[in-house]
Each structure stands twice: as structure tokens, then as C-alpha cells.
Structure 1
Amino acid sequence: MNPKETVKTIGSILLTKILFSPLGLVAVGIVLLLIVLPVFMSMASKGENFNLEDPDSNLSALSGAAGGAYCAPDGELNEALWDEQLASAGVFSGMGDVFQEVAEERGIDPVLMAAIALHETARGTSSAVVDKNNPGGLMGADGLMVFDSLEAGIASMGLTLHNRIIQDGLVTIADLGSVYAPIGAGNDPTNLNAHWVPNVTKVVSSLGGLTMNCTTSTGEFAQPVPNVTVNSNYGVRIDPFTGAISNHAGVDFACSEPDLIYAAKEGRVVFAEYPTQSGLNTYGNVVVIEHENKLFSLYAHLSQIDVAVGQEVSQLEPVGECGTTGRSTGDHLHFEIHTGSLFGTRVNPMPYLEGEPEE
């Protein structure tokens, strides 16, 4: 619903009040001037790039990781995760150095290269890589290309990725997905290609994050969803279920199951369940993390919870997967910041993500 329709709906609700109260007209003026317009003005003035003409397209001003995956915290390859993941990846076991050497030679991210190979080959077990030494799903005139050795296949994949990333400028996972797995392709009748970007992103995370072509958040809190799109801001809005004016205690970020949801800041998990308490079960599967200075971040409507109460999590560690559990109209992340106590005062999360928390 765009802002014009929002104001129109609010006007319709208040017009009903007019029919039953002589003070209705005064109420209209007060609500429109003191509530609705300041909310829209504040959205535009807080640096959130709020598009009044098309709210569904709103992008925050935050910088995020390229292509829907986060950077390695220190920008360096996580050797422990790298070795752990490749050790159990079929024919790729023991090939970690080859991936790194080819990636360095071609000027590309070894994490991104390995993640694509792991996804394309069912973690090094598909017939394409076992029988044809083809780790990247590379196609020739006669179908899947055949290589004399796995090293030769990895080298060819590295050259192909160099051409797409360096020459064509397809630096993000999403951009590469448009080439590797274009959505709506004629040879994909069951729409499996729609899972390419989130699945490669998930593998990147398991390897410790990207080491190239991405930036981390500039604020104290990082984005819980990479390349975040704001679907619904904090503050007064029209309730999507009742159509009544209501207060939105958090921010809704666009995502799709099974996209990973990340911890906005390091801390300790203090809540991780589907609440049964009245008033809380609207969250669906929800995770709450306690941070320093009595700040809490909340992640709601998850399809899956990947952490447990008492667990210490680092910034940008996955806490669950995007979903639509609880009181939800579709896949998204409802994100809140609480101050003082668990489920305490709910404040606008955006200034915290921008590094400028409200007083």
C-alpha cells in the first residue's frame, strides 16, 4: 500500500467517526497533522531513503554485503571453517589449496568460488564432478563439459568466474545467479533456480563469509538481512490484518525462506522458541539476543531457529531462517530493538543499525 492509499484508508476510518461524533472533524485534523504526516516526515528525515511514492521499494541507507552474503569479519579466509567444510565435501576433500591458488590467479574470491562449486555439485558428490571433473556446471556445445582432471576443471571454473566477475562486473551472488541459474529459464520448469542465490549464500556463510567485493556495516549493529529492503517501518501504520490504525513496534525486512537471518550484534541468546504467552505468540518462531548496555535485538517469524538459549553468538552469526510463522502475511523478518529488559521498551531499530541510537 503506497502512502496515498494509506492516508486514504486512514481518512476512511476517521470519516466513520465523524458520522457518530460532532468532534470527529477535529479528530481528523489532529490525527493527520500530528500523527500521520510527522511519521512520514520522520521516515524521510532519518536517512532511511524512504520512498513516499513506492514504499515497497524502500532501501535503507546502510551498506551491506554483496549479493546477500556477509563478509568474513576480518576480511580474511576462515581457515578452520574452510578446512572443515571441504573435508566432508566428496571429491573436494584435500582440494582447498587448489581453489585458493586458482582464485588468487584469477583475482576472485575463493569463498565465493568454492561455495558455487559446493552448491553445483551437491557438495562434491554429483556425477558431473565425480565422472566429468566439472565442478562448476560448465556447459559446452555437447552439454556438460568433461575435464581430464579435477584440477583442470577447477581451473576452467576459475577462468569462467573471472570473466563473469572481473570482465562483466557480476560481483554479487545475485548477479552471478542471473547467469548460472536464471529464474524463469525454459529448462527449469519446477523453478529450482529460485533457490540458487539463497543456497549459495548459505554455503558462503558456512565457509565464514566473503573475503572480496563486500563491506561490513558501518554502525554498531549490522544488518540482520543483507542488502536490506524495508517493507514496513517502525511507527504508526495500517494493520495488515484489521485495517485499523496501529503502532508497529519494529521494522519489517524483506527476505524469503530459507534465507539466513544474522545476529545484528554479538551477545547472548536469551529467548529462542515459539511463544505460547498471549501477546507474544504473534511473533511465531522468535529469537532474542541480549547485548551490552541492556539492549536486546529480536528476530521474529523465523521458519527455523538455529540457536539455543544461553548460547553466545558473534555479530553476523546465523540465528535462524526467514519465514512467516506467527501473525504474518508472508515471508519477512520482523526486527525489534528493546531497551532496559527482555520484551521491554521497543524503540526504532533503524538509528541503531545506522550507528546513531536514539536517546
Structure 2
Amino acid sequence: MSTAAAPRALPLFRWGLAALAGVVALIVSLPLLALLAAAGGWTSSARAASSSVNAAALDEWMADDVPGSPLVGLGRVFVAEGVRNGIDPRALVAIARHESVLGTEGSGAGINNAFGWGPAIPFSSWEQNIATVARGLATNYLGRGRTTLADIQPVWAPVGATNDPGDLNSAWVEAVGRFYADLGGDPTLPITLEAQGGALGAGATIGPGGLATPTGGLGTLSGGPGEGTHDYGAWPNNWQSDRAVDISLPFGSPLFAVQAGEIVRIGGDATRFDGRFGGAQLTIESADDAYYYAHLSGIVVGEGDRVALGQLIGFSGAANGVDHLHLGVMRRDPVALAGVG
């Protein structure tokens, strides 16, 4: 039962990722997880065993936990808004699970407010609700040093609040933490993507010639150089389009720098995925090659940044209604670099 401050129209911000270059695995606090299990509700599950953040995984978890939830199918929105604001999307899902049983119970169910935000502000859609809460969390909580669930609770759900006569807020940290742990997050750490390294799954892997695989080996090859929209004679007729592969993988999957280099260009729109050129794009120039990533749902580096081999640079998205990464390579063989079947 939240008493979170009413959200304002505030600009988004880009979060720093210097610490993420070497993060490839989640370090879970075993004593806390044991405590959560003993408290009831949380047990080691198959869902938590594969904790990579992507839209399909979140939708599967929500459908399994609350069949019929109106939030099922909005995994893409949770991922896109979480990434855009530097928040682990799993934390957003966990809060919505506790506050409204994923939009099915409480006053928020009738006003598209899955988070108790405001605490009872009506929204025109669930998508607007998720976007507003992600912005508000980033600015009014994380931006003010309230980064863990324990830090967030005194403002979001203060004990003794007049709208909480049953003292439910006293269990907020434990309850949200239980769902977050089941989703694969670490309730003891900040809920930022930077801190929750487990959101990266296994991280980058090393492929041919000592270069990193762009998706960590995740996905399948669905298009090669000269095929389909990569036709050598078709517009725009450049290496970014012609010398490219498509890698099918879940929306919101982490992407890594194939080679150390500089981010020389960022473009596109990480909120639109319709049409051939949907999503955001970035280009990395290395000492001897260049790499073009397209259809991204989020980018966590900036133009002019230097990136290390295998560093997280963003998250995959979609174009023309198909979830995939488009990877163009100026000189090397893009099929070999893809590192997938």
C-alpha cells in the first residue's frame, strides 16, 4: 500500500556504466535468500534458475504466477522502461506483484495503476503507468540515493501511514524482496541494472579471433549477408546493411561490444520498433574494423565513450514486428562473429 509522491513530468537520464564492464554474474546473498525461504513463499525455482532479463522471461514469470494478469504481454514495456531509466525490470515487476497482484487486485486494478503510485492516481493505460513509475523511481528515489528496497520502503510505503491501518507496509521489503528473488534479482543490492549484474545472464563469451560474441552466444542466425533486406543491390547499399546478419533472440537481451573501440555514432529511437529501421542504433569503431548494432531497445553508453572487449552496450529490440539484433561488420565475417547457430 504505497504513499509514493505523485509523479511529475521529469526528463529521463542516462546512467553511467563504467562499473559494468567487468560484471558478468550475479552474486546472491545466501543468508537473506534462506531467510526469505523460511518466511514462506519463496523457494528455489526453475524460473529463477534462468534469470536473464528479457521480455519473454518476464511475461512467462507473470503468466505462471498470476494467470490472467493484464500485465502479461507487457514484458517489452517493463524492459524498455527499466533499461531507459537504469532500473532492473525485474524490480518493477516485483513491486507490481506485491502492490496489486500484477494489476488484478486492489484499487489500482480499475485505474491501470499496478504500483499503488500516488497512491491512487488513474492512468490511461498500463503502459503509461509502467513508464511513469520507472521515471519516478529513477528521479525521486534512485536519484536521491534511495537505491535498495530497504531504502525505498520508508518513502514508498511508510510504516504507520494513515492509509495503512493494517500495518501491511511493515512487510513491504520482505514481500517485494521475495518476488524479486524469485525473478532472479538480489534484494540486498540496489535495484539498478548497474548493481544487479545478474541481469546480464552469463555475459559476453569469446568467439573467433579472441573477439566477443555480440549476444553472449544467445539466439539463432536468421539472415546473412546479401539475404532479404541485406540484398547487395538494395538501398541503402552500404556495409551496415549488406555485410550484416540478423540474430533472432528475445526482446531486451543484453548486447556486448565485439571488440574494444569507440562509440562513434548513436541514432534511431529506442521506443519505436515498427518498420525496417525500428529501434536505436550504434556504431563501434575499433583499431581495424567497425560494428553496427541496430533495432536496440536500450543503449547504456554514449557517443565518444571508449568500450572494452565484451562490455555491455545495450539491449536488443525489434523491427518489422520481429525480435532480433541486426549486426553489420565492415571488414570481418559477420556470420563467424555472430557466434550462434
- TM above 0.5, one fold? no
Of the two, which has the highest radius of gyration? 1
In the superposition, the TM-score normalised over structure 1's length comes to: 0.41
Larger RCO: 1 or 2 (CA < 8 Å, sep 6+): 2
